[in-house]
Chains A and B, each alone.
Chain A
Amino acid sequence: AQKITQTQPGMFVQEKEAVTLDCTYDTSDPSYGLFWYKQPSSGEMIFLIYQGSYDQQNATEGRYSLNFQKARKSANLVISASQLGDSAMYFCAMREGREYGNKLVFGAGTILRVKS
């Protein structure tokens, strides 16, 4: 079974609008973490935001926020006030408990295109 599912292969958003990138996950481990990465066309993997399963509040980092709904097993990334430079591939990833060695399991990614 897929551990991380990103159902949107591609998304378009108008500059300055907000956009939500979906991510659902599957784990029976009570201790886990969810990550979002940005991969621009230049290829590097940029760490955006992290949410731990026991964190009381949804994570925020600047224009990025994570809409964490534990019961629904979803961890959607919200980008506010989109900029042209936000055009990239976005990956959701999950880390399970220590016995899994902190490895990240990635979703298939969502390509975001910001229109001017």
Chain B
Amino acid sequence: DTAVSQTPKYLVTQMGNDKSIKCEQNLGHDTMYWYKQDSKKFLKIMFSYNNKELIINETVPNRFSPKSPDKAHLNLHINSLELGDSAVYFCASSQTLREQYFGPGTRLTVT
């Protein structure tokens, strides 16, 4: 059973398009996150939700909008995609302070 899953795994799209990445966790965790890994492999937090409530919004452009329909799902919608948005996007979840489990990642390529 996959604990944290993301779809799609790969996403290739053109500049200016709008796209969404979906994340689901079956661990029963209350907190979910989005991280971005850039081309130099640097990982940075974007958003965090706790029980459907936004608790971290880390100076991310307004074109990025997370949505949590329930505590098992955290989706990321990106408007007006730019070349610089090309990256790997990871979803993660946690229940306690001592853990954070990551999904497989979504590689977004903007052409």
Interface SS of chain A:
strand
B62-91 residues with Cβ-Cβ distance < 8 A to A are 88, 90
Q: Given B56, B101, B104, which contacts A103 in the complex, CB threshold below 8 Å?
A: B56
- A25: interface (CB < 8 Å): no
Instruction: Give chain A nearest CB distance to B24 CB in angstroms.
Output: 16
| Residues on the A chain within 8 Å of B90, using CB | 45
A89 within 8 A of partner (CB): yes
For the complex, is B97 an interface residue (Cβ under 8 Å from A)?
yes
Of the candidate stretches A12-20, A62-70, A74-82, A104-112, the one touching chain B is A104-112
Interface size, chain B (Cβ < 8 Å):
27
Q: How many A-B residue pairs have CB under 8 A?
A: 58
**What chain A residues lie within 8 Å of B17 (beta carbons)?**
none
Asked if B107 is at the interface of the complex by the 8 Å CB criterion, the answer is yes
Q: How many residues of A contact B (CB 8 A)?
A: 25
**Residues of B that sit less than 8 Å from A by CB:** 31, 33, 35, 40-45, 48, 50, 55-56, 58, 88, 90, 92, 94, 97-102, 104-105, 107
* 10 more CB-based (< 8 A) A-B contacts, given A102-B94, A103-B56: A33-B97, A35-B100, A43-B107, A45-B105, A47-B100, A95-B100, A103-B58, A104-B35, A106-B42, A109-B41
